[in-house]
Amino acid sequence: MTASTEAGAKRKLYLEDLAVGDRFQSGEHVLDVAQIKAFAQQFDPQPFHTDEEAAKATFFGGLAASGWHTAALTMKLLVDSGIPLADGIIGSGGELQWPRPTRPGDVLHVVSEVVEITPSRSKPGRAMVTMRCQTLNQRGEVLQSFTPKLVVHSRPASA
Amino acid sequence: MTASTEAGAKRKLYLEDLAVGDRFQSGEHVLDVAQIKAFAQQFDPQPFHTDEEAAKATFFGGLAASGWHTAALTMKLLVDSGIPLADGIIGSGGELQWPRPTRPGDVLHVVSEVVEITPSRSKPGRAMVTMRCQTLNQRGEVLQSFTPKLVVHSRPASA
């Protein structure tokens, strides 16, 4: 691990600072029932995300967070403390997996690793950086795996 | 198109009701600056999502919605009117792409198509249904493409 949580949260990284295999770990987010319901009521109003009783009789067997809630919280963790890119975390998408439901009481954190760095052919000083971002709970269970392609720029002459 | 918006919003579909090539169209969501900033402040607090002035000097050249906001609104449209599955929209993930930024004033709708139906080998009455869900704006520009794998069940004997 070349960048610890502490150092990672303070440094601002450019393309030159990244290498395949670099890892970053975010801070934590504690998820509760109220947050799960509030997000679901706004964006994913299905019984297994909004109603603890109704959720028992569903596929999930109990209240679960919307996958998009897990995804949004992952982004919050990445922005706040996860991947300290100088120009921000700018992605064009990637493969997204939710291997198990996120539950009330889960404490989320994100571990990210640089998988591939592909310099732009047309734009000098820019690269597409593929990361693998795994969102884990307090038991180390993977709640989400996302492999975004991020746009990362070189350090400007003045920086 | 085997299920129109009107019919799609009212019918409740089981596995037997789906065929490769079936298409569904959701209702619309009108996005404005306030929504973009509110989501971003909670989940993706980066200047290009939270501050119109600061956004001008960034990669996006102006305020853009978080990709996760586009994704969450897509889910809302799918749940409300997009894919009327009887047991809900339950996905394990998929390939997610944001080919262009979502902007203030964009009016979103989602067009979904059944791409593949793979019956479960171990669980009779269940299949993995791959859909292609494209989120478009009022000019027909694709803002997001997502190809989720959904868990879909057969009609129970009583239904």
Tell me the average pLDDT across A33-56.
97
Q: Please check whether residue B124 lies inside any domain of the structure.
A: yes
Over 70: is that where the pLDDT of A145 sits?
A: yes
- Does B67 sit within 8 Å of A93, measured CB to CB? yes
Q: Is the dihedral of CA B52, B53, B54, B55 positive or negative?
A: positive
Q: Please check whether residue B72 lies inside any domain of the structure.
A: yes
Among B75, B93, B145, whose Cβ lies nearest the Cβ of A98?
B93
Confidence of residue A159 (pLDDT cuts 50, 70, 90): low
Give the chain B residue nearest A101 (alpha carbons): B92
Among A45, A79, A92, whose Cβ lies nearest the Cβ of B46?
A79
Q: What is the mean pLDDT of chain B?
A: 93
**pLDDT 10s digits, A59-117:** 999 999 999 999 999 999 999 998 999 999 999 999 999 999 999 999 999 999 999 99
Closest CA–CA distance from residue A36 to any residue of chain B (Å): 13
Quote the longest CA-to-CA distance of chain B: 60
Tell me the average pLDDT across B75-103.
95
CATH at residue A124: 3.10.129.10
Identify the pLDDT of residue A10: 59
Q: Please check whether residue B3 lies inside any domain of the structure.
A: no
User: Which candidate in A48, A58, A79 is best for mutational testing of the B interface (most B CBs within 10 A)?
Assistant: A79
- Contact of A75 with chain B, judged by CB distance below 8 Å, is answered with yes
Confidence of residue B10 (pLDDT cuts 50, 70, 90): low
Tell me the average pLDDT across A50-57.
95
How many angstroms separate the CA atoms of B92 and B149, rounded?
6
Q: Please check whether residue B159 lies inside any domain of the structure.
A: no
**What domain range is B143 assigned to?**
12-31+65-153
Tokens of A102: 């996120």
Q: Please check whether residue B99 lies inside any domain of the structure.
A: yes
- Contact of A118 with chain B, judged by CB distance below 8 Å, is answered with no
Closest CA–CA distance from residue A68 to any residue of chain B (Å): 6
Amino acid identity for residue A6 in this structure = E
Closest CA–CA distance from residue B12 to any residue of chain A (Å): 14
CB atoms within 10 A of CB B80: 13
Give the chain B residue nearest A80 (alpha carbons): B45
Using the structure block, give the residue that is written with the tokens 């950086």: A129
Predicted ipTM? 0.92
CB atoms within 10 A of CB A135: 28
> Collapsing DSSP states into helix, strand and coil, what is residue B80?
helix
CB contacts, 8 Å: B67 with chain A: 91, 93
**pLDDT 10s digits, B114-155:** 999 999 999 999 999 999 999 999 999 999 999 999 999 999
Q: Please check whether residue B88 lies inside any domain of the structure.
A: yes
User: Which candidate in B35, B43, B58 is best for mutational testing of the A interface (most A CBs within 10 A)?
Assistant: B43
Closest CA–CA distance from residue B100 to any residue of chain A (Å): 8
How many angstroms separate the CA atoms of B138 and A49, rounded?
30
Identify the pLDDT of residue B1: 40
Over 50: is that where the pLDDT of B63 sits?
A: yes
Q: Please check whether residue B53 lies inside any domain of the structure.
A: no
Q: Please check whether residue A93 lies inside any domain of the structure.
A: yes
- How many domains are there within chain A? 1
Q: Which residues 15-54 of A have a C-beta within 8 angstroms of B?
A: 39, 42-48
How many angstroms separate the CA atoms of B83 and B114, rounded?
10
Among B46, B60, B72, whose Cβ lies nearest the Cβ of A89?
B46
Closest CA–CA distance from residue B88 to any residue of chain A (Å): 7
What are the φ and ψ backbone dihedral angles of A2, each rounded to 5 degrees? -90, -15
* CA-based radius of gyration for chain A: 17
